Amino acid sequence: SQKIEQNSEALNIQEGKTATLTCNYTNYSPAYLQWYRQDPGRGPVFLLLIRENEKEKRKERLKVTFDTTLKQSLFHITASQPADSATYLCALSNDYKLSFGAGTTVTVRA
Amino acid sequence: EAGVAQSPRYKIIEKRQSVAFWCNPISGHATLYWYQQILGQGPKLLIQFQNNGVVDDSQLPKDRFSAERLKGVDSTLKIQPAKLEDSAVYLCASSPGATDTQYFGPGTRLTVL
């Protein structure tokens, strides 16, 4: 069956450092992969989308890579700030349907 | 642009009671989704509407859950009767089309005692 795994441990980092989150998947061939941010008590908010034929995507301090051979996506937050503290979810799709991972909680210390 | 609206924000009920959630999507969005998010897990799709027709309800427990989208706009999700394991956040999302970015509402936190 399809499986999506994100960093099982929460990530605690110092302000200014780079946070790197991992999303691995099995038994899946997604056409694209999305990353969402979720704050406590709120719904997920879309951040970035990367397609299967793209290796890397950037948006401001965010960078996503997508390796369909390794079946893995990496999500980087550079020059992290306390405001980046949240749970980050990866979601995969090969049609209309999104399948989400459990998320990784990031805490950025000032 | 107004976001996706959901109500109520919180609901506490006893098991075997019934409950209903309401969602108003972003104006003009044809596709509407209901997700269930259990604590510590990612959202799981329950049902997807395209206008007022159901596209996918394969993960909806149809013996107790039902959903409708009247006139292709607002939607309600109902649980009857509720079980303890239904305790979760119920998220509504909408998108212009089925393969577009989804916009989520704040969710309804349901506690079943």
Closest-CA residue to B64 (of B51, B87, B48, B83): B83
Please give the span between the terminal C-alpha atoms of chain B, in angstroms, as a whole number. 37
Of residues B101 and A39, more confidence is placed in A39
A-chain CB neighbours of B41 within 8 Å are: 102
pLDDT per residue as tens digits for the range B50-89: 988 999 999 999 999 999 998 889 999 999 999 999 999 9
pLDDT of A94 strictly over 80: no
Percentage with pLDDT > 90 across chain B = 89
A107 pLDDT band, cuts 50/70/90, is very high
Averaged confidence pLDDT in chain B: 95
Mean pLDDT for A1-15 is 90
Residue B1's pLDDT is what?
67
B14 pLDDT band, cuts 50/70/90, is very high
pLDDT of A60 strictly over 80: yes
Residue A31's pLDDT is what?
87
Please give the span between the terminal C-alpha atoms of chain A, in angstroms, as a whole number. 41
Is residue B53 a contact partner of residue B59, using CB atoms and an 8 Å limit?
no
Kindly calculate the radius of gyration of chain A based on its CA atoms and give it in whole angstroms.
13
Residue B97's pLDDT is what?
85
Mean pLDDT for B13-22 is 98
Best residue in A49, A94, A97, A104 for a mutation probing chain B (most B CBs within 10 Å) = A97
Is residue A59 a contact partner of residue A47, using CB atoms and an 8 Å limit?
yes
Q: Please give the residue of chain B at the shortest CA–CA distance from A32.
A: B99
Q: Scan residues 9-68 of A and list those with Cβ closer than 8 Å to B.
A: 34, 41-46, 49
Closest-CA residue to B55 (of B32, B82, B21, B86): B32
pLDDT per residue as tens digits for the range A25-47: 998 888 899 999 999 999 999 99
pLDDT of A88 strictly over 90: yes
A-chain CB neighbours of B4 within 8 Å are: 43
Percentage with pLDDT > 90 across chain A = 82
